[in-house]
Structure 1
C-alpha cells in the first residue's frame, strides 16, 4: 500500500521565528500525540459519540462526528474511527449513511430523553465524513469504506447540489428541500477546496470541479476587505453574490475555517495563490501584532473583540502559507498547554470547537498531515512518543 508522508512543516521555518521547544519535531522518530489522545479521552464516549460539553443539551453534531473521523485517520486510530462511524450511522442516519444524510444535531431533548433534535443535514459534515471514508479506504486498504463514502457523496449531489441561475452548480449548506430562491444562502467554510479536489478525482464527471471554481469566485467576491463572512448568498435576480439575508456581513466562528482551509492547500493547487490574495485581512490585523478579532464586518473591515485561542490555532497554516513568520510565532504563544506548550495551562478545558481548530492548525504545522495536490490526505504515521501531552 502506497503512503505519501508529509514533510515536517516546522523544519521549513527559519530559526529566527524562535518556535517553542514543544513544537519542534520529536526525536527518535516518534510524534507527540497528547492533543489527539487528550481530545478523544475527553470528548469521545466509549460508544463513539463526540460531545460538546459547553452546550446545555450536551449536544453532538454531525460536524463533530466528521472531524473525529478525519483525525482518526490522521492518527491511524482505527478503533476510534470504527466507534465514531458506528454511532454516527446508528444515531444520525437511521442506521445507514448510504441511505440517509445524517441529522446535524443530537442531544438532550427539551421534553426529556435523548435523540435527534434537528433532522436537517449539514453539508460540511457530510463532505468531511465522505472524505474520511475515502481516505480510510485508500490508506487502510478497506474497500467497504470507499463504497460507503461514494454512496454518501451521491446523496449529497442528489439532495444538496443545485444549479443556480447565473452561477452554475453549487453546494447548499443543507438540503434543497429547505432552501428557496431567489436568494440562496451559502457558506464558504462548508467547502474546503482540498476536499472538493479529492472528490473531483474520485468522480471526474461529478459537479465538484464546478463547485470548486464557484467557491474560489465566491470567496473573492464576498471578501472586499480581505475577510470572509460567515455566510453569504447568491441572488438569481441580480446574478451576483450578496450579503446573507439573516447573518449579514459578519465574519467570525464559521469564517475562521475559511483561512484554515486555504492555508493548508498544497502549494501546487492552482487556486491557492488567488485564495490567499483574496484573504489578506487577518494577516494585516495579526501582524500589528495582536490577537485575531472575534468579529469583523467584512464589508467595512471594522473588527471587534478578541478571538479565542482556537482562532490563533486556525490561523497557523494561513500565516505559514503567507510567510508571515513573526505573526505566526505570536499566535503560537497564545496556544495553551493542554494542546502543547510549557506555558501556564488554562483554568478549564478548552471548548470542543476551539480544540478542533487547534487540532487542525497545530497538527498541520507540526507536519502530522498534509493535503496533496489532488486533495489526498498525506498523514505522517509514526509511533507515539513515550511521554505525550495530555488534556
Structure 2
C-alpha cells in the first residue's frame, strides 16, 4: 500500500514536470525512483532503468567531493591548508568512497596518483609519504615523507575490497605489499600490554630500548572493521591481534567517555601504562571524533562492539540537548569547548544510532539535520570544508544505508546489494 502511494505521488510529480517527466514516465519505474518519490523534482534527473546501479543511485555528497576536492590527475586536495596539501589519508579515504560509489575510474586515478607522488612511482618497497604539497621554496612535492599508518591501513583495505568486488587481482597484490611493510615498520609490542599500531615508522617512541620509553599512540588510527577484514585477507599478519587490542586500548584511555586525540604509553622505570600524551595533552577533537565514528560502524555482532560502546557511551549521553557536538573535550577534566563543525555531527550519527537509547532519538535527529545541510549547501564560502565533507561521507552514507561493514569487515555496499536483488536506493538523493 505504501509503495502504491509512493508510486502515485511520483507519477503525479513527473507529470507536472512536462517533457522531462514524460520521458521518465515512458520508462519502467525503477525501485530507486519509487523509494525516492518524496524527493520531488530530483526524481526527473534519475537515469532510466537499465543504467548501472551506481548511476541509478546517485550520491550527491560524493559528487560534491569529487567535483571540489579531486583533481583530474587523481590528487585529493585540501584547499584550506597553507600548503594546498594532499595527504595519504585523503587519498585512501577517497578510494574507499569511490569503491562505495562503484566509481572505478576515480578509484584508479587516486591510486595511480598516490603511487606516483607519495611513493615515487613504487609502493611495493616503501610506504606512502603522508604529506605532499607546496614546499616553503614554492616547489611542489613530498613535504613529509614519514608515512601515516592509518592511511596505510585504509589504502590496503580499499585495495583488498576492490580486488574482491571488482575482481582485480592486482589490487590484492598491492594490498599485500603494503601490509607487509606496515607490519614490519609500524606495528610494535607495548610491554605489559601487547600488539599496537604506531602512528608512523619514525618519531613516536621516545627513550632507549634498554631504558624508560614513552610511546605516542592515536586511537582513531584503529577502525575495528578494517582490522577484521585485513585479518582474513592477510592471515599471517598482526591485524587480528590489533582488532583484539583496540577496544582494550580505547577502554584504557577513555575517561568519562572522552577519548583524547593522542595518548601516551610509558614503559620501563617505575611507571608502566597509559598516560596523558606528553605533546598534545588530553584534548579530544579533530582526530578523536573518528573514534566514535568507527565505533558506531562496528557491527553489534563483533565482539569488540560491546566494549567500545560501553567505554564511549557517556559521550553519547553528553549529546542530549546539545545543538552541536563540542569542538574540543578534555579527557582528564571533562571540560567542553565550543561547537564542532557539521562534519562532527555527521561522524556521530552511526554512534548515536548504535547507542540505541530512546532518549537520544532527538539528538540523532538534530545532528542528522545539521549534517545533511552540507549536502544542500551552495558552492562558495558556505560549502563544507574538506574534512567536514569526508566525515559527512562516512557518517551520513552509513546512516543512509549506502554501505555498512559485515562482522568480518567486508563492505556491504548499496550498489552491490541492489544489483544482486534489484533493490532500492535508500540514501538521501536530493
Match of 1:213 among 244, 254, 257: 244
In structure 2, C-alpha distance between the alignment counterparts of 1:338 and 1:221, rounded to whole Å: 35
Cα distance, 1:355 vs structure 2: 0.4
In structure 2, C-alpha distance between the alignment counterparts of 1:139 and 1:380, rounded to whole Å: 12
Cα distance, 1:122 vs structure 2: 0.3
Q: Which structure 2 residues correspond to residues 1-391 of structure 1 after superposition, within 5 A? A: 30-176=56-202, 179-181=205-207, 182-237=213-268, 238-323=271-356, 324-340=360-376, 347-381=381-415
Change (3 A) 1:344 1:353: closer
Say which structure, 1 or 2, has more relative contact order (CA 8 Å, 6+ apart).
1
Equivalent pair of 2:73/2:113 in contact (CA under 8 Å):
yes
Match in the other structure for 1:7: none
Q: Secondary structure at the match of 1:335?
A: helix
Unaligned runs of 5+ in 2: 1-37, 208-212
Equivalent pair of 1:337/1:346 in contact (CA under 8 Å):
no
Q: CA RMSD in A?
A: 2.2
In structure 1, C-alpha distance between the alignment counterparts of 2:328 and 2:99, rounded to whole Å: 32
Change (3 A) 1:40 1:345: closer
Equivalent pair of 2:204/2:217 in contact (CA under 8 Å):
no
Match in the other structure for 1:9: none
In structure 2, C-alpha distance between the alignment counterparts of 1:289 and 1:306, rounded to whole Å: 9
Equivalent pair of 2:152/2:182 in contact (CA under 8 Å):
yes
In structure 1, C-alpha distance between the alignment counterparts of 2:236 and 2:273, rounded to whole Å: 26
Cα distance, 1:178 vs structure 2: 5.8
Change (3 A) 1:347 1:107: closer
Q: Secondary structure at the match of 2:124?
A: coil
Question: Normalized per residue, which structure has more helix?
Answer: 2
Segment drifting more, 298-307 vs 209-218:
209-218
- TM-score, normalised on structure 1? 0.88
Cα distance, 1:328 vs structure 2: 0.6
Cα distance, 1:308 vs structure 2: 0.6
Cα distance, 1:300 vs structure 2: 1.8
In structure 2, C-alpha distance between the alignment counterparts of 1:50 and 1:365, rounded to whole Å: 24
Cα distance, 1:283 vs structure 2: 1.4
In structure 2, C-alpha distance between the alignment counterparts of 1:291 and 1:338, rounded to whole Å: 14
Cα distance, 1:338 vs structure 2: 4.1
Q: Deviations over 1:79-102 (max 9, x none)?
A: 000100000000001111211111
Equivalent pair of 2:371/2:396 in contact (CA under 8 Å):
no
Cα distance, 1:176 vs structure 2: 4.6
In structure 2, C-alpha distance between the alignment counterparts of 1:290 and 1:222, rounded to whole Å: 27
In structure 2, C-alpha distance between the alignment counterparts of 1:90 and 1:263, rounded to whole Å: 35
Q: Secondary structure at the match of 2:141?
A: strand
